[in-house]
Amino acid sequence: MPSKLLSLGLMVLLIGAICLAVGEFKLGTVDVVPVEQKDSDWSLAANLTHGNTYGIDIQSSDAWGIPFGRGDFTEPMPANITITSPGGDVTRLQAFFWGERSTSSYYERGSPPVILEVNYQNVDSVGLAVDNSTAHIRFMPKQDGCYNVTILKDGFWSQEPPDYILLLKEATPERETYSVVATVGGAMSTLGGVICLASLFKGRNVKRRSRR
């Protein structure tokens, strides 16, 4: 009988471990979906939901690449950006762009510059939390409401706006379902472990009685 109880415990433990692994894996899978896009403009506004994670993609225009293509810039150049929270508080950051020099004497634009680094100078801790571990603009709103993203034209190296500003949201497909799967898997793993331990103790008691 103890062997049957042990087999049951191992089976429950295995099923629980599989459910837990699948749930945790799926919860770690993130899809990036577009929320709002503004073409040929310096700013974008969108209603965001607290608890979600968002990112900002800035596609530079061809004109932004001209100084890089000519070799005027020998290091990444900053774009000053603000994110205004629903309460009116402002987060300030610099996104450093870099573009390759043109290899053609007839075409000076080079490749459109891309963001290599993000430096947060002032963060509205009431309105949002930022992710300093990535070279992308990534943040989590702490309030529901309208957030405004603006690239400041003052001091910028080009008078043309970006091709577009794109706001993205990170989403886990079927998050609620896999949260339940992970929770059930954890509970089954614990139950299976308890059954296994119970079977071992029961087996010891049987051996002691048989010796007597």
56: pLDDT strictly greater than 50: yes
Output 36 or 21, whichever has higher pLDDT: 36
pLDDT of residue 140: 95
pLDDT of residue 70: 86
Tracing tokens 């929770």 back to the chain, one arrives at 183
pLDDT of residue 144: 96
pTM of the model: 0.69
pLDDT band with cut points at 50, 70 and 90 for residue 81: very high
pLDDT of residue 6: 67
Over range 57-74, report the average pLDDT: 91
175: pLDDT strictly greater than 70: no
Output 24 or 94, whichever has higher pLDDT: 94
